[in-house]
Amino acid sequence: MNIMPNDLGRQYSLHAAEYEEKALQVLRSGWYVLGKEVEAFEKEWAEYIGAKHCVGLASGLDALWISFRLLGVGAGDEVIVCSNAYIACVMGISMNGATPVFVEPDEYDNIDAEKIEAAITPKTKAILAVHLYGQSCDMTRIMAIAKAHDLKVVEDCAQSHGNHWQGQTVGTFGDVGCFSFYPTKGCGAFGDAGCIVTNSDELAQKFRVYRNYGSEKRYHNQVVGTNSRLDELQAGLLRVKLSHLDGFNAERCTIAETYNKELKNPHVHQPKIRPGADCTWHQYVVHVPKGRDALAAYLKEKGIGTIIHYPIPPHLSEAYAYLGFGVGDFPIAERYAGEVLSLPMYNGMTEEEQRYVIDAINQWEP
């Protein structure tokens, strides 16, 4: 057997004819950037998430840095983010000249809200809540802290397309919800794409202007913006994907439940879901405190691919050496980097494939 950690071709094959029809329709339309498909997708995505506005952008990273830019977070300001975040989360903060302030994750792999207040200083301007692996952060606690300290909240929902905290869709709690539609994400495009959602009319309008060189009316530039436009082909294909997203999420849920039920190796700890959160299982991430790399190598021998999300916590990456952190500064994130392993999880995964993965893991000894 040869099982990939994520098999995008498999997901494509589930609805190939629909994607191909939409692609041809857009190609033949003669209109390729910011048009009817983008408008329709923005409307449908806002509705799906339960937000007033959606603005399509070129990537998830753009969604993050433009959010901080438009919220007025820049040089001299601090933004709180979890210490086990994906590097893009941190870049979204630092690209504006702001300083990321790391807070350790809890047993649910997301920011430990109980540790946020200790990290707040007079320079703190915002909290970036990253809903990692498809699981919601404790948004009740995070919003209460933000309110008490007058902080902006940006949600990074790149890995959490359509999951909820206490019944409310993530992305609708903070000032802005940021989404990436990178191909591996829940609602993945066929290239790079992203968006923001917000309930603020004023902010939504600022995003629309900013993404298109700062112009609302062509050649009338109000601010120094950027080019972060969503194209018609991606938007059209995302509309097809969105029409199947609940089905994709439900299927990943079933796969996760099978892992939860059938994985019985005491050395392989299953993911924990915070009470009140639901999870769309962007990844199924186990913790292997002893012998993670040996397990990955053993699985590879058997034709089973796995990924580590993520092997180097941001504070130890070369890119952030200038922050001056070293080994031991964020011990939980460092420990997680050494023990997390994402098991194969994709739409279209067969029972037979999953059985093979489960049996292999259950037979493993460190």
Ligand X SMILES: *Cc1c(COP(=O)(O)O)cnc(C)c1O
Q: Which among 4-12, 31-39, 54-62, 261-269 is the span making contact with ligand X, rule CB under 6 A?
A: 54-62
Instruction: Evaluate whether 249 touches 104 at the Cβ level (below 8 Å).
Output: no
Contact in structure between 94 and 229 (CB atoms under 8 Å): no
Cβ within 8 Å of residue 47, ≥6 positions away: none
- Comparing CB distances to ligand X, the nearer of 175 and 192 is 192
DSSP 8-class letter at 119: G
> Which of residues 67, 94, 110, 180 is near ligand X by CB under 6 A?
180
**What are the helix and strand counts (H, E) for the chain?**
11, 13
CB-based contact 280:158 (threshold 8 Å): no
Assess 209 for contact with ligand X (CB under 6 A). Answer: no
Smallest gap, in angstroms, from Cβ of residue 88 to ligand X? 4
Q: Which stretch binds ligand X (CB under 6 A): 82-90, 161-169, 227-235, 347-355?
A: 82-90
Report the nearest approach of ligand X to the CB of residue 21 (Å).
26
Q: Which parts of 89-118 interact with ligand X (CB under 6 A)?
A: 89
For residue 286, the cross-strand partners are 341
Identify the bridge partners of residue 203 per DSSP, sorted by sequence position: none
Asked whether position 88 contacts ligand X by CB under 6 A, the answer is yes
Strands 99-103 vs 220-221: parallel, antiparallel or unpaired: unpaired
What tokens appear for 149 in the block?
């300290």
β-pair partners for 154: 128, 176
Q: Which residue's structure tokens are 């606690």? A: 141
Site for ligand X in 125-144 (CB under 6 A): 130
Residue of 362, 135, 107 whose CA lies nearest to 252 = 135
Does 86 engage in binding with ligand X (CB under 6 A)? yes
Tell me the closest approach of the beta carbon of residue 351 to ligand X, in angstroms: 28
Q: Which is nearer to ligand X, 46 or 170 (CB)?
A: 170
Please report how close the Cβ of residue 130 comes to ligand X at its closest, in angstroms.
5
Q: Is residue 182 involved in binding ligand X (CB under 6 A)? A: yes
59 binds ligand X (CB under 6 A): yes
Angle between helix 87-94 and helix 60-70 axes, rounded to 10 deg: 30
| Listed ranges 41-49, 55-63, 109-117, 161-169: which one lies at the site for ligand X (CB under 6 A) | 55-63
Site track for ligand X across 189-208, x = CB under 6 A: ---x-x--------------
Q: Which residue has the tokens 């937000």?
A: 51
Q: Which amino acid is it at 286?
A: V
| Alpha-carbon span 44 to 53, nearest angstrom | 10
On whether the CB atoms of residues 130 and 85 are closer than 8 A, the answer is: yes
Q: Minimum CB separation from ligand X for residue 187, in Å? A: 12
Query: Nearest residue by C-beta to ligand X?
Result: 60
Q: Does 6 bind ligand X (CB under 6 A)?
A: no
**Binding flag, residue 336, ligand X (CB under 6 A):** no
231 binds ligand X per the rule CB under 6 A = no
Residue 49 as a binder of ligand X (CB under 6 A): the answer is no
> Which residues form the interface with ligand X (CB under 6 A)?
59-61, 86, 88-89, 130, 156, 158-159, 180, 182, 192, 194
